[in-house]
Structures are given as C-alpha cells and as structure tokens.
Amino acid sequence: MRMNTEETRVTITDDEPLFVELLLRALVTEPEIIVVGTAYDGEKSVQLARELRPDVVLVDIELPGEMDGIEAALIIKREMPETGVVILSAHSDRRYITSLPLEDSSGWAYILKQTVPNVAELVRAIQGTRVGMVVLDPAVLANLRPRRDSSVAKLTPRQQDVLKLIAEGRSNAAIAKRLILSEKSVETYVNCIYQRLGLSGEQEINARVRATLLFLESSEKH
C-alpha cells in the first residue's frame, strides 16, 4: 500500500454546487490536502480521475445521469486500485455501506454529508483511505451493535469501544486520547482484539481493515 506524503491530491464529485463549495472551503484550510478538480456527475468523475490520477476521490453516492457514485467509484478503483475513495452520503443505513466491495479492495471511506462540516472527520477519512484504511462515519457506527452470536459480541465492552474507534479510522494515539488511556494500554487492547478475531500476524493496516469489516459484518441496527 502506498505511504502518505506531504500533499494529498483529491477530486470532488457532487451535483450540488453549494455542497462542493462547502467541501472546498473546508479543505482549503488543510495544507496537506489540495483539491485538483471537481465534477458534477459520475461519468465526469471517472474522466477526471483518469486525467489527474488523484490520491483520493470524494464522490457523492447519488449522482444524476446513468452512472451513480458507487458505479463511478467502482470503475475508478478497478482502474486505479491505489486511489482512495470517500463516499459521501445522506444515508446512515447499513445496507448502503455493505453495497461497497470492501472485502475486495482497501482504501474506502463512508462519510455522512452532515459530518462534512467537521473538518477533522473528513480529513481523517481522506488520509485514511490514501494509506489503504477502511473508515466509517462515527454516526453510522453509533447505530450498530454486534449480533449476539458474532465473534465481536464476545469481546469485552472496552474492547468493543476500541474496535469502534478503529473502524472510525483513528490511530492508537487518538484512541488513547478519546478513552483517556495510555497508548500502551490501547496497544494491548488492540492486540487482544486481533487475537480474539483471528487477525494476529496480519500487517497492521490490513489487520485494522479486517477488524473494521468484521465489526460491520457482525453488526445490526439498534
């Protein structure tokens, strides 16, 4: 997987000019992120990605025309598998997330449009997908709980808290700050989660991706 460098080049695709402007204003404050192009439908999003080869594409899930955001993202991922994809959506329902081929490729994020004004959440999704993470919106995760028969349900409540934060794309340092723990304690929790989910021995990013997917697969709405 590609490692991050100082500058992350992104494109934005959304058919609402005001929302595109909101994204541009949010990201212009981030020196490590540069918007290199915008589009307003799926076909142009794919064309833009082919021309500019961005590090990450931000794509609205619902676009006008014959190609929606998911279709555009799938084409981009197939042709440029190392490109991160951030799906922007108004839908928090789990079924929209599971429509993404998360098992087959890395570097995906699913972020709710109402989260976009929180620039830190948006940036974490962008930077996470660039290095191959799967990042899910905190508001989506808050509505999910593990099924009783799942391996995730067998984790302790604290381990489940840590796993949710992993699924949000947070680093161990960020998890430690959120839960008021030492980084060493978080590392211990993470290693225990990997062991209990059968992920020990995986490379770190891959283990975090797999842990996120297991959480999603084993979950149901409250």
Residue 222 pLDDT grade (very low, low, confident, very high; cuts 50, 70, 90) = low
Q: Any idea which of 34-38, 97-101, 159-163 has the lowest mean pLDDT?
A: 97-101
Residues 190 and 131 in one domain: no
* pTM of the complete model: 0.90
Shared-domain flag, residues 114 and 37: yes
Residue 153 sits in the same domain as residue 134 = no
pLDDT tens, residue by residue, 2-23: 444 579 999 999 999 999 999 9
Tokens read off for 79: 């042709």
Structural domain total, the chain:
2
**Cβ neighbourhood burial of 205 (10 Å; 0-12, 13-18, 19+):** middle
Q: Is residue 3 part of a domain?
A: no
Tally of CA atoms within 13 A in the half-sphere of 15 that contains its CB: 12
Q: Residue 95's domain is classified under what CATH number?
A: 3.40.50.2300
Do 71 and 25 sit in the same domain of this protein?
A: yes
Q: Collect all residues with Cβ–Cβ distance below 8 Å to 61 and sequence separation of at least 6.
A: 68, 69, 70, 87, 88, 89, 90, 91, 96
180: containing domain: 144-221
Tell me: do 50 and 132 sit in the same domain: yes
pLDDT digits (tens, 9 = 90+) for 73-108: 999 999 999 999 999 998 877 777 877 777 667 899
- Cα 209 to Cα 11, 124, 128, distances in angstroms: 24, 15, 11
pLDDT tens, position by position, 46-75: 999 999 999 999 999 999 888 999 999 999
Assess if residue 211 is contained within a domain.
yes
Is residue 203 a part of any domain in this protein? yes
Domain for residue 158, yes or no?
Answer: yes
Q: Give the per-residue pLDDT at 197.
A: 94
Query: Coil, helix or strand for 63?
Result: coil
pLDDT tens sequence across 199-221:
987 788 889 999 998 998 888 77
In a domain, 132, yes or no: yes
- Considering the domain boundaries, does residue 104 fall inside one? yes
Separation of CA 203 from chain center: 18
Which of 138, 158, 190 represents a domain boundary (last residue)? 138
